[in-house]
Amino acid sequence: MLKQAMILCGGLGTRLGPRTAAMPKPLLEVGGAPFLDVLMAELGRHGFEEVVLLAAFEADKVRAYAEASVVARRFGMRVHVAVEPDRAGTGGALYHARDIAASEFLLLNGDSWLDTNLLGLTDDAFSRSAVVAMAAREIEDASRYGVLELDGSVVGAFLERPRQPGPGLVNAGIYRVRDEIFAHLTPNCSFERDVLPALAAAGKVAATPRSGFFIDIGIEETFTAAQVDVPARLTRPAVFLDRDGVVNEDAGHVGSIDRFVWIEGAREAIRALNDRGYLVFLVTNQAGVARGLYGEEDVRVLHAHVQAELREAGAHIDDIRYCPFHVDAAVPAYRKDSDWRKPRPGMLRDLMAHWRVNREASCLIGDQPTDIAAAEAAGVRGHRFAGGNLHAFVADLGLA
């Protein structure tokens, strides 16, 4: 399962002049925080557990960032720093981290961000024969970028510049990589100029066009724009999902994997919401804990199973809240009138306190009147799901 990511942090950033004279480009502040925080947070919310920062220039500053990373602590991610022994290029930086690479990993440029589903690079070409599956982004003016040409989902060629002025499909700096890549690397090489074109010539590179927000902070114009555009993009609409009766069949107090059965279209619905850029939250009353039918550890194990099965479908839930309390609990420790128990809005409000949520553009999908009441109390729209295919329901709402 894809759990490791590597981020290229070693470039000199010469086009930004004095800004990068003594600071790695990914550590420049954007919106009041290091740009690298954006990439780290995206990895964290997509469920990545390990991040390797590929460093060279001012590597000690990258090490200091890794040791102090609030984002890594928030998501419980392990962070390592791999330093190339000399100026080895982007391919060389990856080569020198080969001993700690997983069998499959995500590779990101440290100076650009495509707001996309990081688990979505799973097309058929990659599963069949590709060594690299990459994200591509069409932009209106591709003149300062290298561009790629597709034959279906396979990259036919990489061009240093477009064949003509205007729009083009550019490398978005996100790659899903198999460890077979190391047979194609040398201690000093460029991943973009040397490795990818050679692999493409052999039909070993797949690409998935994406339409999400894209920014590269490598020049002064885009770096300045990023100060406003990036923070604005990080405030997202959210979809809050009730669990039993919406995500899975409601068999009554579902507290174990063997009793969990997906609602038809639920995984596809969550994947579609991920692809559209929504935050996806699970908010569920779990009175089975209060009744002594199962424990909180059982809930955590079940939710880990849910995330694992979603991951296999290229999807994820960003965060989960559950309420184990009930005023008539059989277990005294859980006998409580809790603001988190729907129809009260505590779970939704807590999520909105911990995430940047565009409340006005958000909604909740539930199957009970208590769900809709909780949504109303939290100031978000509520939609009643009466059963059937959840993906079709989400599509009818215009969310997918």
**Which element (helix H / strand E) includes 392?**
helix 390-396
Active site residue 242: yes
Q: What is the C-alpha to C-alpha distance for residues 266 and 248, in angstroms, rounded to an integer?
A: 8
Give Cα separations from 17 to 71, 109, 224 (angstroms): 28, 19, 13
Q: What is the DSSP string of 214-230?
A: EEETTSHHHHHHHHHHH
Nearest to 290 by CA among 344, 345, 341: 341
What is the end-to-end Cα distance of the chain in Å, rounded?
25
Is 171 strand, coil or helix?
strand
Q: What is the C-alpha to C-alpha distance for residues 349 and 362, in angstroms, rounded to an integer?
A: 12
Q: What is the C-alpha to C-alpha distance for residues 261 and 248, in angstroms, rounded to an integer?
A: 5
The catalytic position among 37, 216, 244, 371 is: 244
The β-bridge partners of 135 are 208
Active site residue 115: no
CA angle (268, 251, 305) in 5-degree steps: 50
Is 305 strand, coil or helix?
helix
Q: What is the DSSP letter of 97?
A: T
Q: Are 177 and 107 in contact (CB under 8 A)?
A: yes
The HSE-up count of residue 111 (CA atoms within 13 Å, CB side) is 22
The catalytic position among 216, 242, 275, 371 is: 242
Q: Are 238 and 281 in contact (CB under 8 A)?
A: yes
Q: How many contiguous H segments (helices) and E segments (strands) does the chain have?
A: 13, 18
**Catalytic positions, written as ranges:** 242, 244
